[in-house]
A = this chain, B = another copy of it.
């Protein structure tokens, strides 16, 4: 008999059906016993009259149940399965390190991460990964609609040129190689090919930061677009993209979230310092300043999002385009979401001479990248969204490790 899902039971009342899944929980009451079976979509309640049957059905064993769908107002989904014939597909013979059926996992986070294969089955952990999948789906849909083309770029690079520090070194057939910290150079080069490109992929940071928001591998949602006037065209494309991402998350993962405003409020960096009560002349925003700006945007504009534009040039990477009217400040921006930076973007330099100047003629390690500019590049810009930070912030989860399937950090390289 063709297996159906837990969510389909309600449309099969009084029929005999087959479901399959994991034993989520056994509940022994006085006169009746329940087997709760978990599948990819939800839970099913199976009524077992002979309690001795339950003994061998240890939690997380995989079972197939053929039974009658019977209405029961008290049951989840208002139906339960009665008169079951249960077949064990895979029996669990060990004591599990923690229980999955409670609303929250009670094991410590390191224990959960050590036992990821089990912990990720918990509905709360699973929900976060579904949100991440929906976010990437929405990202791609929004960019496809705006005629961006998907690219795949190298994760192994020959020199540590993008920032110089915090890169992982690899042995590349006896030569030194490095793991890419971002697809920045490649996505810019590809603007010369497709005008508008995006990539969803892993990036690597050998940061010795042991915090709740740093991972040594994370998923970067990158986009880059040509033929712009300035960074405001990039912000408009990003705003549209976030709107579709949020809609997709609501649709696919059922998360009730506030919609993205048609226009996200934007403040210049100098203004942002004032709003946050930071000293004039600060070169960057501290986490407390970002939180204050998040509060301000919520109160003044009813928005969970706020753009900060015009960051000082000295704190932005070498390829950043200055504000032509005020060259100490940049055409770069950050997007804060609930008071945390989740996107960095901006307009880039596009003239070869400008790169030669900012690199002080030390162009040799950048040859392959600079060729794009030597061979003609339009004004362009783009952004990068850190997927795990975005999902954690969206779900009000403090530690990015809770929204990452198998996180990698300073201390962790397994499982």
Contact = CB atoms under 8 A, between A and B. Distances in A.
A217 interface: yes
Interface string A14-40: 000000101100000000000000011
A190 interface: yes
A153 B413 contact: no
Q: Which of A136, A170, A179 has the most CB of B within 10 A?
A: A170
Contacts of A140: 137, 140
A172 B413 contact: yes
B219 A152 contact: yes
Interface string A47-60: 00000000000001
Contacts of A117: 189, 192, 368-369, 371-372, 375
A313 interface: no
Contact of A201 (B194, B201, B376): B201
Given A117-B192, A196-B40, A408-B156, A150 B136 contact: yes
Nearest to A404: B152
Interface stretch (A90-98, A296-304, A322-330, A393-401): A90-98
Given A376-B60, A377-B90, A413-B158, A208 B153 contact: no
Interface of A: 3, 20, 22-23, 39-40, 60-62, 89-94, 96, 114-118, 120-121, 126, 129-130, 132-133, 136-137, 140, 144, 147, 149-159, 168-173, 175, 177, 179, 186, 189-190, 192-196, 200-202, 204, 206, 208, 216-217, 219, 227, 350-352, 367-369, 371-379, 387, 404-406, 408, 410, 413-415
Given A3-B227, A369-B415, 7 more contacts: A22-B376, A90-B351, A154-B408, A156-B168, A156-B179, A156-B217, A368-B414
